[in-house]
Amino acid sequence: MSTIEHWINNDVFAGTSGSTAPVTNPATGEVTGAVALASVEDARAVIDAAAAAYPAWRDTSLAKRTQILFAFRELLNARKDELAAIITSEHGKVLSDALGEVSRGQEVVEFACGIPHLLKGGFTENASTNVDAYSVRQSLGVVGIISPFNFPAMVPMWFFPIAIATGNTVVLKPSEKDPSASLWLARLWAEAGLPAGVFNVLQGDKTAVDELLTNPAVKSVSFVGSTPIAKYVYATGTAHDKRVQALGGAKNHAVILPDADLDLAADAMVNAGFGSAGERCMAISAAVAVGPIADDLVAKIAERAAGIKTGDGTKDSDMGPLVTQAHRDKVASYVDAGEADGAKVVLDGRQVSVEGAADGFWLGPTLLDNVTTEMSVYTDEIFGPVLSVLRVDTYDEALELVNANPYGNGTAIFTNDGGAARRFQNEVQVGMVGINVPIPVPMAYYSFGGWKASLFGDSHAHGMDGVQFFTRQKAITARWLDPSHGGINLGFPQNQ
């Protein structure tokens, strides 16, 4: 059984704590490794390595940084199948889904390859007589990234390509549930020529997180996870004078209007509700059927979902297991509660027949109808393959339902009415909107982030929001042509 260690100065670091946590293969239930859990001293050692590497990396030319980014991109593209296999072995998602995750993360690497253009400042000649004014964007220093289990490659890649490209050094704290992808990425950076100490991996639990949030050498923290932890990360990090972008939980709705193509909508509900076993912050978990279409929509979703093959992600399966036994049981308990509260269980994943080991963490696609807003299956973020159907009579009722929800990560509308779609995108209080698109994850050159309880802080991930988050602007006023100051004048400077 392998030990999954920290990464410092382009090499593994065992740490001194001696504490570990088991890492399992969700498709078999087998313990496949032990991940190191950092002590405070271990965390400080990783952070200190990043801090020591920062001055030299900050002063490395944009041309050299870009060359390393391109090398990393090429290596990642050539070997992404390796990374996808690692993700499947620890997370459980099917290989095609894992490969898609890597590809979406790679888009941010490609965006960061254009950093020389993105970092250009402004220049004003002769703003005042013989005085020039200009601005530059400079890096922060050591930046921390705390990533979730559901996307062990893509979510870190939302942040670290831009952080590194802009001249920062990185400490990545991955999830303890699937930590091996982080070390694979670290080795790839070293192979691409990234100097020692620029990209570091800190394995661990709350001890590691708290050190990142409180250590004065860490200048910013980027987090993705549940809303309660996002609140904690934001409050603690900002209290210790750090920039924080904390992306929280979600309860994503899809509104299906009566004029929608129901076959398209049903396909989308199945894909977005059960892909990656529902363990996506952009999964659709609430389908809002408007008007008389509900019965037909539910029937079409059920027919499609019943054909999903649940099993080992390395084999011919459509959907894999949940990440741990505890999480599987928690998701199943929500189905129990929904049924007890009066929801109709149209498709029951609790008794799924799988193609895989009996000890895997299995829960099949589950469809609940006649769900109401008071049920826990609706109010809570379940993070599993459970799709709830809510019925309303009008567009206005659907909009009110979506906007009343405390989360505001992603949403979608299915309609052939351009006017209704345009009205929805304007009126809905959600950060990312799809129109006949069920998982509206933006491209890397736009920003990713929700509203309300789905985001704490004012900066979204990647895009120009990412460039601005990982840099500080400096305004410079210079006079060279006429060094004389013209005598003493205590008045406030005026442009002339």
- Using CB atoms within 10 Å of the CB of residue 137, give its burial: 0 to 12 exposed, 13 to 18 middle, 19+ buried: middle
Cα distance between residue 33 and residue 24, in whole Å: 7
CB-CB contact of 72 with 162 (8 Å)? no
Q: Which of 95, 266, 281, 430 is catalytic?
A: 281
Strand ranges (DSSP E) for 5-70?
6-8, 11-13, 20-25, 30-36
Locus of tokens 């030990």: 3
Strand ranges (DSSP E) for 90-217?
123-128, 131-139, 142-146, 169-173, 199-201
Structure tokens at 281: 């912050």
DSSP 399: H
Q: Dmax over Cα atoms in the chain, in whole Å?
A: 88
Three-state DSSP class for residue 288: strand
Residue 281 known to be catalytic: yes
Q: In b/e form, how buried is each residue of 379-394, taking b as 16+ CB within 10 angstroms?
A: eebbbbbbbbbbbbee
Handedness of CA 321, 323, 329, 332 (dihedral sign): negative
DSSP 152: T
Closest by CA to 140, choosing from 116, 157, 122, 165, is 165
Residues marked as catalytic: 281
